[in-house]
Structure 1
């Protein structure tokens, strides 16, 4: 999962340092909450989730990696 996520975001420095599943889930939560964006222009969790799904589907990941990442995003978004 970590490798698939790193392939999805190759230019993000924070992604390159992910070593554990917990770190991966924390990074996805930060992404879904749009925490790296100024508060006035943040998108909703639903918008960020839709953008993530689109990015995953358009990526060069395998079908299984895509399925696993989508499942992980859904799990984290439901928390």
Structure 2
């Protein structure tokens, strides 16, 4: 891990501060796994009613904008956005 990178155990509380209603059982999962799952759910819009769901691209845009407009440090923003990019590409690869 590079000196300027955030650890997943630091990023999870930062992420949850943006999406306060996002929770997941933490049993048997690392902070990194939890964060990846929360981001995946956000991108797939699983927290919305099926008829109100947005496209993957729209959710990616809105999520990145929310992170970049937040009061999180630039380091935290960059790290969380990087997770969004990775998960976005992973979902794209699964289709």
Q: Which residue of 2 aligns with 1:22?
A: 33
Task: From the superposition, tell whether residues 44 and 14 of structure 1 become closer, same or farther in structure 2 (CA, over 3 Å).
Answer: same
Correspondent of 1:3 among 7, 13, 31: 13
Mark the runs of 5 or more structure 2 residues left unpaired by the alignment.
1-10, 91-95
Superposition TM-score, scaled by structure 1 size:
0.85
Query: Aligned to 2:71, which of 54, 60, 67?
Result: 60
Q: Which runs of 5+ in 1 are unaligned?
A: none
Structure 1: distance between partners of 2:35 and 2:18: 12
Paired positions, count: 77
Q: 1:35 to 1:71 in 2, by over 3 A?
A: same
Name segments (4+ residues, structure 1) moved above 4 Å. Answer: none
**Which structure features the higher share of helix residues?**
1
| Alpha-carbon distance, 1:13 to partner | 5.0
Q: Secondary structure at the match of 1:43?
A: coil
Give me the CA root mean square deviation: 1.7
